[in-house]
Chains A and B, each alone.
Chain A
Amino acid sequence: MRQLPKPLYLAAGAYTVSLGTGRPEFNPRKARPGLEHYIQEAGKAVLSQISDPALIDEGVIGNFMAARFNKQGHLGSLMILAHPSLEYKPTLRVEGACASGGLALATGLKSVASGLAESVLVMGVEVQNTVKAVYGADILGGAGWFAGERKNGGTYFFPQRFSDRAGAFSAKYGAERARQAMAHWYATAVEHARLNPQAQEHHNRTKDLVAQGLTPPNPRSFCEHINLFDCSKVSDGAAGIIVCTKEGYERLGLTRDDVVEIVGYGHAAANLTLPPPDQTALTTSRRASAEARAMAGIQPQDLGVIEVHDCFSITGLLSLEALELAQPGGSIDLVLAGENKRTGRYPTNTGGGLIGYGHPTGASGVRMAVDLWKQLTGRAGDYQVPMTKDHGIMISMGGNDKTVVSLVLRR
């Protein structure tokens, strides 16, 4: 079994507001902050927690499609905006669709594990509200196989892929129960977001969220098996955290109580040109998270807090099954029983997740690590969950379950 060569830690996490529809400060007709603003804001929020930003050895930034959303490449160099002391240090950008943030964490982790660096600033950023949704769908479609899938992939390419999964799931386990579970997933995401002031859905005041989530899907205007409430939103935002060694965090002026240990790490990729082997299972997510759990030596029931990539409510349900918290189809009962709520057995996406907090694609993986770090170190403020267990896990997923990074963290 693979093992990390030395103890590694995450420290000083932070993220920005997820800006987009739902936030009171969002106005589609007015000019909005760009990549630069988000890198600076998240970078400052991370680096203000340590003794001296100059002690950071390297920088990694995850980003999916700034080249198209913002006509901006070369984010490794742009990342230096986070702090002047990064000038001339090794910085780079990594990309793996919506798992770009997860890959940034993996890249930082490898640098520190190799001994070449002691502390690495890992960031993720995406600014997506630059185009209308119909064009954004084209850009995000790049996470699929363009030459083979896009032409017949529908107007909203990714919603369509996950609508197909929701359809297969419904056919197998009952359409009505599946719809109920998806509606409850949405309701929980918003309920959690209401406690997180940076969440895009923080101000959502809808009274009956489940009823809203039960809105019948409309294939004429959108998709056959999912409605708009099943989807994460279009978001602008950034997140950052530091990957470091013990010597590293001590040098930064932090103690063991300020950090969480990375005790499990899994990374798996599947062939982009092949359809999913099973529409009702996230096989790559299962593989990566099993690897991370094995490295950590823990069972699913040991997990005290969970972050999954709920780009769609169906993905949330399937992720719980990929984590072996439920048998295939069993995520329905788990969610209907409220076990994924902050009050349930497996508090999941406690800051709102992708549906509640928002989904600035390249930032999402890093944001997940930040939320786990906050919960495990007692820094989650209004959305803090009482931690009775020591471990948390995250699944950062790219495309249709094609690139997955999973980390197990211990307080």
Chain B
Amino acid sequence: MELNTRLQNLTVVGAAGKMGSGISLLLALDMAYRALENKDRTYVLNLVDISDTALQGLLRYLRDQAIKDAERQTTRLRQLYADREDLVENGEMIQAFADEVLTHVRTGKTLALAQDSTLVFEAAFEKEELKIGLYKELAALCPKEMYLLTNTSSIPLQALAEASGLKGRVIGYHFYNPPAVQKLLEIITPADCEPELREAAVAIAKNLRKTVVPSNDIAGFIGNGHFMRDGLHGLKEVERLAKEHGYVKAVALVNRVSRDWLLRPMGIFQLIDYVGVDVFQLILRVMEKYLKDGLHSPVIDRYIEMGVKGGQTSSGAQKDGILQYEKGQPVGVFDPDTKSYVKIDEAWTKESDALLGAHPDPSMTWKGLQKDSEREAKLRAYFAGFKNPSTLGMQLAADYLRASKAVGQRLVADGVAHRDEDVNQVLMLGFFHLYGPINSYLD
């Protein structure tokens, strides 16, 4: 079946969620441009989710984002609308484009909307049974040519496909958060995937201007394959440091080192909160089920039992989790013993400075190095000092770098990633790291 024909009727399941809404936006914008360029064809984008409120929010989001996109694409719009006598000003074309985007969208709570779709994008909650249930329903409803592109970040595709009767017709299409902005798309191709689906997946990624990194069908893939183990390393370090400094301070120390010493955008516990402690737990469970690799954390289970979940509000603000937040910045740490947050105050910051030792070079920051043309040389010189660590901060950071590198190398050795560069690209693009984990900084 021709890809252009498939693209005329698309469905997103779980469309109003954090990932689903971004995927819906990307597809909606692409479809609107496609429709303006192919006026003889009809295009439909079905957006399915379980809440009317969330779907209405999604429509508002699509409209706002379509306007923002159109404001950046006015020159293109002026060409596309050249034959529309009634549209003269930039503003008129921008509004017309936003209307065009919504013209193709159908929202609803029933999967029956997908009945004419031959490409279905799934971004439902990361639960195997839930996904299998949805796939079975879709397999029964949709045309037999239907292909399923799932945003799962951990569940093996072959298992999902076989359990739902869609053998060879499911591919992993793992967007990173937020999908509309993030360049990275991890495509996970099961061994028995139909060639037409492989080709379609790559062609669509190109349309959406994504950078594709291929992974093999092994639970967790590259992104979570690294992140989960990286997070577990941080938790293990906390356990060790807690004996001497107490649990709360140990969390704060590890979080601080993993951000400021490793020059990452977020500390490890801030990142777990960002993803959601509950999602972190779910992914660990999925990976452990398939890999049997000791991927388990009693601390994480305890957090969930106590209702410490993190994640974001519908407006994108960070909710409290392992850490407490004000204006998106960590200001406190959850104490499981008292079930309350302990503020990171000035006295504690001073104490932490004394414990960790001076930062090796305060001029080196994640933000400052973003667009530095000499970044690589500066990183190499900076990390060279970590080979013989003279402070606790440097020791923790050096251990973290080595652990992260070992995880990356193992992903290649285990066949999850095809090559070192793919692991590094996922971490640099998907996690906004300044450098890949597989590096020679400490050699």
List A residues at the B interface (Cβ < 8 Å). Answer: 132, 134-135, 137-138, 141, 146, 150-152, 154-155, 220
Contact A150 B89 (CB under 8 A): yes
Cβ of B357 under 8 Å from chain A? no
Chain B residues near A (Cβ < 8 Å)? 71, 74-75, 78, 82, 85, 88-91, 94
Q: How far is the CA of A178 from the CA of B1 in the complex (A)?
A: 55
Min CB–CB distance A149 → chain B (angstroms) = 10
Is there contact, CB below 8 Å, between B78 and A135? no
> How far is B372's CA from A164's CA once the two chains are assembled, in angstroms?
36
Write the nearest CB–CB distance from A184 to chain B, whole angstroms.
Answer: 28
Residues of A within 8 A of B85 (CB): 151
Contacting pair A135 B90 (CB below 8 A):
yes
State the total of A-B contacts with C-beta under 8 angstroms: 26
Residues of chain A contacted by B75 (CB below 8 angstroms): 154-155, 220
**Complex: A378 Cα to B156 Cα, angstroms:** 80
Given contacts A154-B78, A155-B75, A155-B78, contact A134 B90 (CB under 8 A): yes
Chain B hits for A132, CB < 8 A: 71
- Complex alpha-carbon distance, A132 and B78, angstroms: 17
Separation of A135 and B72 alpha carbons in the complex (Å):
11
- Contact, CB under 8 Å: B88 / A134: no
Residues on B with C-beta less than 8 A from A220 are 75
Residues of B within 8 A of A155 (CB): 74-75, 78, 90
Q: A141-B89, A151-B88, A155-B90 are in contact. List 5 more A-B contacts (CB 8 A).
A: A134-B71, A134-B90, A138-B89, A150-B89, A154-B78
Q: How far is the CA of A155 from the CA of B91 in the complex (A)?
A: 10
Please name all residues of chain B whose beta carbon is closer than 8 Å to the beta carbon of A134 when the two chains form the complex. 71, 74, 90-91, 94
* CB-CB nearest in chain B for A146: B88
Q: Which of B74, B89, B94 has the most CB of A within 10 A?
A: B89
Task: Give the most central of A137, A146, A154, A155: most B CB within 10 Å.
Answer: A155
- Bound-complex Cα distance A151 to B92 (A): 11
Contact at B90–A137, with CB atoms within 8 Å?
yes
List the B side residues contacting A135 at CB < 8 Å: 90-91
Contacts of A151 in B (CB 8 A): 85, 88
A-B contact pairs, 11 of them (CB 8 A): A134-B71, A134-B91, A135-B90, A135-B91, A137-B90, A146-B88, A150-B89, A151-B85, A151-B88, A155-B74, A155-B78
Q: Are A150 and B88 in contact (CB under 8 A)?
A: yes
How far apart sit A137 and B74, CA to CA, in the bound complex (Å)? 11
> Closest approach, in angstroms, between the C-beta of B90 and any C-beta of chain A?
5
Assembly CA distance A154 to B75 (angstroms): 7
CA–CA, A151 to B75, complex, Å?
A: 12
Question: Which residue in chain B gives the minimum CB-CB distance to A132?
Answer: B71
Q: Whose C-beta in chain A lies nearest to the C-beta of B74?
A: A155
Q: Chain B residues with Cβ under 8 A from A138's Cβ?
A: 89-91
**Interface-centre pick from A137, A138, A154, A220 (highest chain B CB count, 10 A):** A138
A residues within 8 A CB of B78?
Answer: 154-155
- Cα A243 to Cα B63 in complex, Å, equals 51
Separation of A287 and B94 alpha carbons in the complex (Å):
40
Please name all residues of chain A whose beta carbon is closer than 8 Å to the beta carbon of B90 when the two chains form the complex: 134-135, 137-138, 155
A146 to chain B minimum Cβ distance, whole angstroms, is: 8
- Nearest chain-A residue to B78 (Cβ)? A155
| Top 3 A-B pairs, shortest CB-CB distance | A138-B89, A155-B74, A155-B75
Chain A residues whose CB sits within 8 angstroms of the CB of B89 once the complex forms: 138, 141, 150
Residue numbers in A under 8 Å from B82 (CB-CB)? 152
CA A151 to CA B78, docked complex, whole Å:
8
Q: How far is the CB of A307 from chain B (nearest CB, A)?
A: 31
Nearest A residue to B92 via CB reads: A138
Residues of B within 8 A of A137 (CB): 90
B71 contacts across to A, CB distance below 8 A: 132, 134
**A261–B82 CA distance with the chains assembled, in angstroms:** 52
B76 to A, closest residue via Cβ: A155
Q: How far is the CB of B176 from chain A (nearest CB, A)?
A: 26
A150 to B92, CA, bound (A): 12
| Closest partner residue, chain B, to A133 (CB atom) | B71
Closest A-chain residue to B75, C-beta based?
A155
* CB proximity of A406 to chain B, nearest CB, Å: 32
In the bound assembly, the distance between CA atoms of A134 and B89 in angstroms comes to 10
Give complex CA distance A132, B88 in Å. Answer: 17
The answer for the CA separation of A60 and B128 in the assembled complex, in Å, is 74
Minimal beta-carbon separation of A151 from chain B (angstroms) = 5
A154 proximity list for chain B (CB < 8 A):
75, 78
> Counting chain B CB atoms within 10 Å of each CB, which of A141, A150, A151, A154 scores highest?
A151
- How far does the Cβ of B84 sit from chain A's closest Cβ, in whole Å? 9
Among residues of A, the one whose C-beta sits closest to the C-beta of B94 is A134
Contacts of B74 in A (CB 8 A): 134, 155
- A290: min CB distance to chain B, Å: 36
Residue of A nearest to B68 (CB): A132
- In the complex, A220 Cα to B73 Cα: how many Å? 10
| Nearest Cβ on chain B to A217's Cβ, whole angstroms | 14
Q: Give min CB distance, B327 to chain A, whole Å.
A: 15
Query: A134 CA to B71 CA in the complex, in Å?
Result: 7
The chain B residue sitting closest to A222, CB to CB, is: B75
- Which residues of the other chain, A, contact B94 by a CB distance below 8 angstroms? 134
Q: A152 CA to B89 CA in the complex, in Å?
A: 10
Give the complex CA separation of A151 and B89 in angstroms: 7
Distance, CA A154 to CA B90, complexed state (A): 9
Q: Smallest Cβ distance from A150 to chain B, in angstroms?
A: 5
Look across to chain B and name the residue whose beta carbon is closest to the beta carbon of A138. B89
Q: Which residue of B lies closest to A135 (CB)?
A: B91
Q: Tell me, rounded to whole Å, the shortest Cβ–Cβ distance linking A232 to chain B.
A: 19
Bound-complex Cα distance A135 to B71 (A): 9
CA A152 – CA B74 in complex, angstroms?
13
A154 to B93, CA, bound (A): 12
Q: What residues on B are CB-neighbors of A141 within 8 Å?
A: 89
Most chain B Cβ neighbours within 10 Å, of A132, A134, A151, A220: A134
Measured CB to CB, the nearest residue on chain A to B89 is: A138
CA distance A138 to B90 in the complex (A): 6
**Distance from A115 Cβ to chain B, minimum over Cβ atoms (Å):** 45
By beta carbon, the residue of chain A nearest B85 is A151
